[in-house]
Structure formats: C-alpha cells, structure tokens
Structure 1
Amino acid sequence: MENAYSLWKKGLSGSHHVWGKVELDKMGKVDMTIFPHEKHPLINKIGKFFGIGHLDQQIRLLGSLKKFDILYSPYSKSNTKLLLLLKVLGLFKKPIVVTIHQPFWQGKNENPLYRSLSRFYILNYDACIFLSEPLMKKTISLLNISEKDAKKKFSLAQWGPDITYLDKFSRNPLPFESCEYFISAGHTDRDFETLIEAFRGLDYKLWIFCTPKSIPKTLDIPPNVTVNWEVTRSYDLIPFYQKSIAILIPLKYPEHKEGCQGMTSLQDVVSFSKPVIMTRNPCLNLDIEKEGIGKYVGMYDVQDWKNQLTIFASKKSCWVKMSENSRQLFETKFNSEIFAAHLEKVLLATYKKKSV
C-alpha cells in the first residue's frame, strides 16, 4: 500500500490502488494511516511456510494497537489470517473491516466442516464490503449465512478508478480512425493463449502486456501480436491504452475460483472511454453488455473472439456508442469517489458500534 500511495503522490498511478485513503483524506471524517508492509522479510518467509501471508506486518501491528481504532484490509484474509485467528480466540479486540473480491469459502472442498469454518471466520470480521453482488449472494448461499448476519455484516460497493487523476488522460479520446490496435494487459487468470490464436490470420494488431510470470505459453506467436513483459506500471501503459481500439480481457479459471477476475482491467476500460471484449464472468458486479460498453465471449472460444474482434474493428457506429457509454459509466457510477463514500459510511458505522 505504501508503494501504491507513493506512486499516486508522484502522479504515476491513480488513487484507487490505495483503496479509498486518498478520498477519505479529502472528505475529512476518517484519518487513515498506511501501516508499513514489510520490515523483516525472514518472518514473511516463515509465515509462508505455515500458510500465513504477510506475517511480519501482522506481528508488528500487534505492537501498535493503541494507535488505531479500526483495521481496514482491502485484501481480507490474505493480510489478516493471523489477526482473524486471534480475533476468533478473543485475543484481538479491534474491529476489522475488509473488502472481498475473491471466494472466501474453502475452494472446491465440499466438506461441510470446511464450509462451517469459513462461515465462522467471515462472520468474525466486523464488516465485509463485497465488490460484487453475485459473489456476495454466492457466499451467503454456499456458507449458509443467515439473512440477519448478512444484513449486519455485509454490504456492497463498486470499486472504481480515480476520476480526478485519469480525467486528464481521457478527456479528449482519440477518434476511431486514429486507434491502431487492440490491447490486453494483466496477469491474474489471463488466457493469452486463446487470444493469440484468435488473432492468428487476422489483419488487426494486438499488444499484450503481462508480467514475467504470466508470459503466454504459445511458442509460435504470429507477427501481428506483440508481447511485452517489461512495461508494468499503469502510468507507462497510458499511451498504449489511448491508441487502442478496445481493451481485451481474456480469462481462464476453474468454477470454484470464480471471483472478480478482470475487475482491475475494467477500471482501464472506463478510464479511457474504451469498448471491451472479455471472457464472461458472472461474478463481476458490472455487466458490460447491460451497460452497453462491450461484449462477452465464451471461455477458450477462439471463434467467438474472432467474430467480436471483426465487428469491433469495422463498425464505427457501435464503437462510438460503446465509448460514450464507457465515459458516462465512469462519471456516474464507477469511480473512486463513489467507492470511498460507501467505505466512509461503513467505517463510521463500525466506529459507532465500537464506542457503544
């Protein structure tokens, strides 16, 4: 988080990667401090061995309990596993507020005991902000959470991009005729292999931006596809997004891991007023077809990709309408200020309950 905050202060990243802090600072009712992520790497290595991520941060935080009223963790159990265990045992008294954007239950394990443990743990959080209504409903159903507990603990908010930061880059988007290629950037559960096959034999160009760990496994990459794993900062991707025809989000994951995959890339879609083609993900809170900003394709469906790519690259009127809808979505219901307003409401309500 401190790295994301530093990039924002330097003008190299949007505030949404700091998950509400920047907006809360401006609003003035909540004083949020970023707790340093890592001081003793060895402790994290030990924690990883025992299946506890970010152990160093959690241990150090125990020595700073007097400095805060509420612990807010945008990555829920990945950053709070030890603290949540201590909370279950009655040894950690501070309220914990989290955002949830991935499945909380015990993976594909259908064992009732695992589901009961998952329900027990998630209800020990003081407040859970789900970033997806389908994911929230699925969690309530699979973990058999009562309506009373869900109403008391759960709420819904759409995480959105920094409208102030990105407006200067998307205020005057390029016309259809000046857009040169398609772009796909990301690394979590990405299916670049299917996307590459879809572009094989087409006249359109594709830029893929990934990390060294998510480089496509395809060996014979066609000449109209460029793969780059060196440009990773969002700021450096801006000129590439600006010249793109549409943003592509190819996904692959087993059903039991279905969560908010592709959500971060959708931030870029609305930020740059672009249309989008993406693998269907029913767990996302945003329906790109209902919002009129893009089209879904089936998982691993090369021909489906080819069909949509041809339409997007040739039909200017559809492209213009989707771009306009994308911009309107950014301004009215999918941005960082709307997310922060809900976060502030949850934090203040949690503080009020704590003080009673």
Structure 2
Amino acid sequence: MKILYIARTDTYRYYCNGINPSHWLYGAVEMEKEGNEVVWEEESQNLWNDYRLVRKYHPDVVFIPNLNLRNHLLLLFFTALHLMHIPVIAYLHHEPKVKRGAKACFYRLLLSAPKHLFFLSSKTMDETVKAGLVKAKKCSVPYWGPDMDFYNKVEKNKGKWFVSTGKENRDFDILIEAFRRTGAPLKIMTAKSHAGNDYSDLVEKCKDFPNIKVVITENSGNVYPQMLDAMANAKVLVCPLRKDKLNYCVGLSTIADAIGLQKPLIITRNQYHDEMYTKGMEIVDSVDDWVKAIEKIEKGQYNCCYSDISMLSCWKNMKRYF
C-alpha cells in the first residue's frame, strides 16, 4: 500500500536521526515497518498543495496526522463532493469551535470527507459527534502511545530532580509555589515562549529559590535529546496545566514520556485525558494537592504501574481502517 503522509517533515528527519520517537509521527513509521510505502511530504497553506501531491504520487491512502481544516480544505472539499476518490484518514486533535451557522455546515461537509477520523481523547470524539460534525461510525480512539523501541534504548537513572519539560499552556506559578513550600528539587525546562505563552520571566521568578532550576531552551524539536536526558535521569516528571486551557488533551506528550520511561508523573487533572492514560499517575487540582503528591513521592510511597499502551498497539488499532 502506498500511503501519502502530509505533515511537518522535519519531525520525520528528527526521527531518522534518532532524535525523536516515532509516536510524534502518529503511526506512519509503524506503517512503513510493516512493508507499506510511505511518501513523506510537507503540509502547506497553499490550497492546491494536497491536490498536486495526490496527482504526483497516486497514493492508495492519504494520511494526515494533525488535520488542519484550513490547510487541507480543497482535498477535503473535493473528496466530500466525490471529485477525488483517494481515501483520507486523519487525526483530529481538537473539536472545531464553531457549532452553528453556515461555517458549521461547511465544517460538517469537510469532515464528511475522511474515511476515518482518529482522536486522542474519547471526550473530544464524543463532543465532536454530539455536535453533529461527524458520524460516530467513522471515529475511534486508537490510544496513541509511546515508541517503546525508542525508550527501551534510553539509559535511565533515578536522580533527585522533579522535572518539567512541557511548554504548551503550562501553569508554572502553581508549580513554583508547591516546590517553594516543599523545598523538593525542581528542574523546569521550557521555551521562552510558545503558542502565545510567555515564559520569559521564569528565571526571575525562581531566582530566590535555590531548589528550583530553570533551563530555557530553543523552541524546536531538536532540543528533545536534552529534555530526554533530564527526564531519563529524573526522580519524577511533573506536568502543571493551566486550568483555563483544559479544553483538549494538553499534556498527553508528557504522559507518553512518563509511560515510555516508566517514570512517576504528577499531572493536573484534565477531563480530556482518558483513564487508559492516567492510570497509575498522581492527579492533582490544587496547590495543596501538589504538595501532598510531592511529599508522598519523596517518602517513597509510590508505585509506577501504567497501562500497557504504545505506538505499536496504537497502530494495531489503526490499521483496520486503512
């Protein structure tokens, strides 16, 4: 089977160079390992990009790991009107915000095009179906998970640090306060800014706390080895999420890291995280919850026992739809 993958190709280059795990490619590597021919092509805002790629490669399937309706408008529109006949299979990461009016009707038309839609969250899938934007029979949650081949090659040690490596909608204020109270060693690794989040004042905020170390990295995928080393040698991973931004499955990449590295994880409660992901993790809401979870782990009262999910098991759940 020839599969046309349309997304950011730098992620694939990082994978080929051993920098990033395969789950950042949402099953496309596993497709290739099974003997399928995967054509790796760049996503573009040019509306004719997909059409040209389909005409060039004549694939059996088009696979889009992060469906942006704007970038793939013509492909979806032509497919929905049966002007193009190549099956489209995609991951829809976010429920479209528009639910009523002409724009919602147009979204409904576009989302009728894919042969199948995968979701990272059961709640996102259910809300999208309930809004009438997609039909339930065309949707599933394959349980995206870590590339265990990648993580099994990583040397791991149990160090002293609680480590935060995320950059998307993180609540560092609650994290800093919790570690100020406990005095436990915290290492924060994040970008100076990301998707409207400004973390440029983190170093200043933490300068009076000797137990908190802040490392500002560049905002690109090639810094992952630096973060991976910190996580692999961490005592615990921590993922503080902004409660005003919990309208999708933010934090899932850190969950994949925790499962892959088999490290304890303290994470803000997010109703978009399926129990399959959060089983065995310390789920917190308030500063007091953070303090209790930190102290519990410091006392050794924690067993790391996660669900058996991986990118390979995810692909096994996906491939029936190809």
TM-score (norm 2): 0.84
Q: Does residue 84 in structure 1 map to residue 76 in structure 2? A: yes
Check if 1:295 corresponds to 2:302.
Answer: no
* 1:278-314: CA deviation from partner (whole Å, max 9, x where unpaired): 111111224555x22x11111xx22221221111122
- Once the two structures are TM-superposed, the CA of residue 159 in structure 1 deviates from its matched residue by 0.8
Aligned position for 2:32 = 25
Query: C-alpha separation between the residues in 1 aligned to 2:248 and 2:106?
Result: 20
Confirm whether residue 239 of structure 1 aligns to residue 229 of structure 2: yes
| Aligned-pair identity (%) | 22
Q: Which residue of 1 aligns with 2:295?
A: 310
Query: Does the CA contact (< 8 Å) of 1:103 and 1:258 recur in 2?
Result: no
Summarize deviations over 1:216-253 as a string: whole Å, max 9, x none.
64543133222222266222222211221211111115
Larger proportion of strand: 2
Q: Structure 1 34/198 Cα, relative in aligned 2: closer, same or farther at 3 Å?
A: same
Alignment of 1:169 with 2:154, yes or no, is yes
Tell me which amino acid in the other structure corresponds to 2:172.
F
Is 1:150 aligned with 2:130? no
The answer for the alignment partner of 1:338 in structure 2 is 313
Report how far residue 85 of structure 1 moved: 3.6
Counterpart-to-counterpart distance in 1, 2:276 and 2:290:
18
Q: RMSD across aligned C-alpha pairs, in angstroms?
A: 2.4
Report the Cα distance in structure 2 between the residues aligned to 1:131 and 1:77, rounded to whole angstroms: 15
Q: How far apart are the structure 2 equivalents of 1:288 and 1:71?
A: 28
Q: Does the alignment pair 1:284 with 2:273?
A: yes
Once residues 311 and 40 of structure 2 are traced to their aligned partners in structure 1, the CA distance between those partners, rounded to angstroms, is: 18
**Matching residue's letter, 2:90:** V
Q: Does structure 2 conserve the Cα–Cα contact (< 8 Å) formed by 1:115 and 1:142?
A: no
Matches within 5 A, 1:1-356: 1-28=8-35, 30-37=36-43, 54-56=44-46, 58-66=47-55, 67=57, 68-77=59-68, 79-88=71-80, 91-106=83-98, 111=100, 114-143=103-132, 149-151=135-137, 153-169=138-154, 173-174=156-157, 178-214=158-194, 215=199, 217=201, 219-221=204-206, 222-230=209-217, 233-254=223-244, 258-287=247-276, 291-292=279-280, 294-298=281-285, 301-314=286-299, 316=300, 318-319=301-302, 321-322=303-304, 325-326=305-306, 329=307, 332=308, 334-347=309-322
Q: Distance in 2 between matches of 1:61 and 1:144?
A: 23
Q: Aligned to 1:71, what secondary structure does the other structure show?
A: strand
Ranges in structure 1 where 5+ consecutive residues have no aligned partner: 38-53, 348-356
Name the counterpart of 1:352. none
2-structure distance, mates of 1:34, 1:60:
13
- Distance of aligned partners of 1:346 and 1:275 in 2 relative to their CA distance in 1, 3 Å threshold: same
Deviations 1:165-223 (A, max 9, x none): 110216xx43xxx4211011112211112211221232211111111214264543133
Give aligned pairs, total. 302
Distance 1:217 1:143 in 2: 43
Q: Which runs of 5+ in 2 are unaligned?
A: 1-7
Q: What one-letter code is carried by the residue in structure 2 that aligns with 1:312?
A: I
| SS across alignment from 1:196 | helix
The TM-score with structure 1 as length reference comes to 0.77
Rounded to whole Å, the distance in 2 between the matches of 1:186 and 1:4 is 17
- Give 1 or 2: higher helix fraction: 1
